[in-house]
Amino acid sequence: SQIIDELTVRRSEIIDFFCAVKSKKESFVPISKAPLSRYYPLSSAQQRMYFLYEFDKAGTTYNMPMFLKVEGDFDFSQLERTFRKLVGHHESLRTLFELQEGNPVQRLADEVIFPIEYST
């Protein structure tokens, strides 16, 4: 009851707050596209992951192997085309990591060939 009374008293203040939040969301600053380069520096999160990899190269913390059981008719060639189109569209899925002068960097591949294994 006390909460409802407080909300009722401060109703216009609460409405003003949410309107201000909404207008801030609509006035965002777009991220500019990075200039083309052969190599790009790692983000701080990528640097941490690289450090963990160097610490334990056999670790599989970030691997996500999985399988999916599909029953009935399924077009595996369509699945492969879909994944290839998805990977072709998103640079983050075509990012490779290399060492340049002993430092890890990222390189965007034009194309990534990968197998999709399935059994029937």
What share of the chain in percent tops pLDDT 90? 37
Going by pLDDT thresholds of 50, 70 and 90, the confidence category of residue 107 is very high
What is the Cβ-side half-sphere exposure of residue 32, based on CA atoms within 13 angstroms?
Answer: 3
- Reported as a single tens digit per residue, the pLDDT across 8-55 is 888 888 888 888 877 666 666 778 888 999 999 999 999 998 888 888
Look at residue 105 and tell me whether its pLDDT is greater than 90.
yes
Instruction: In whole angstroms, give the CA distance from residue 61 to residue 45.
Output: 14
pTM: 0.61
Which CATH superfamily hosts domain 2-108? Chloramphenicol acetyltransferase-like domain (3.30.559.10)
